[in-house]
Amino acid sequence: LSARKPAWLRVGVPGGERYQKVRETVRGLRLHTVCEEAHCPNVAECWGGGTATVMLMGDVCTRGCRFCNVKTAARPPPLDADEPRHLAEAIAQLGLDYIVVTSVDRDDLPDGGAGHFADAIRRLKAIPNLLVEVLTPDFLRKDGALETVVEAAPDIYNHNLETVPSLYLKVRPGA
C-alpha cells in the first residue's frame, strides 16, 4: 500500500480569488457560516467554488449537542435585526443562484427564531433566479414556528435528524 493519500482525500489550503470574495463579503456584513463556526474541513472547496452555508441568529447556540463545535450559552446575545438584510445583500453581491440557510438553535426566543428565518427567506426570494433552501432547527416545537417559515415560501425546506429518538437525550440534550 502506498503511504500517499489520494488527491480526493486531501483538503486544500483556503485561498484563491473566489474564496477571498466569499470570506470578505461574509465577514464585512457580519454574517456567520457553518463553514467557519463548525470548523468545516471543506471550506476551501466550497468557498473557492462560491458556495457557503449561512447560519442565521448569530454564532451562539442554546443547546450543547455533543457532536457540534458551535459555541453554546443559555442566554446568547440578542438577534441582529439587520441580519436578514445583510444576508440578502451578501448573496446578491456574490451572484449565487442557490443558497442554503441554516441556524443555531435559539430556544430562548418565543418563536425559536422562526420569524427571523421568514424575514431572511422573503428578502432572499426577492433576488431574481435565486433558489433558497432552508435547513431549520426544530424550534423546540413552538406553536406556529413551522408554519411561519413555510409561509415565507422557501424553495426547499429541510431539517436534520441527527440521531434516532432513543439516543436524543444522550447525544442531543433538549431535542
**157 forms bridges with which residues in the sheet?**
134
Residue, of 170 and 143, whose pLDDT is higher: 143
pLDDT greater than 60 at residue 77 = yes
What three-state secondary structure class fits 5?
coil
Residue, of 79 and 98, whose pLDDT is higher: 79
CA gap 131, 30 in Å, rounded? 22
Residue, of 33 and 1, whose pLDDT is higher: 33
Among 97-101, 123-127, 160-164, which is the least confidently predicted range?
160-164
Mean per-residue pLDDT for 19-29? 82
Asked if 31 contacts 99 with a C-beta cutoff of 8 angstroms, the reply is no
Highest-pLDDT range among 40-44, 90-94, 119-123:
119-123
pTM: 0.78
Mean per-residue pLDDT for 140-168? 87
Give me the torsion for CA of 99, 105, 107, 112, rounded to 10°.
Answer: 10
Predicted local confidence at residue 14, as pLDDT: 64
Q: How far is C-alpha 59 from the chain's CA centre?
A: 10
- The cell numbers describing 54, all together, are 449561512
- DSSP-assigned states of every residue in 79-143: P-TTHHHHHHHHHHHHT-SEEEEEE---TTSTTTTHHHHHHHHHHHHTSTT-EEEEEE--GGG-T
Place of cell 438553535: 105
CA gap 132, 13 in Å, rounded? 29
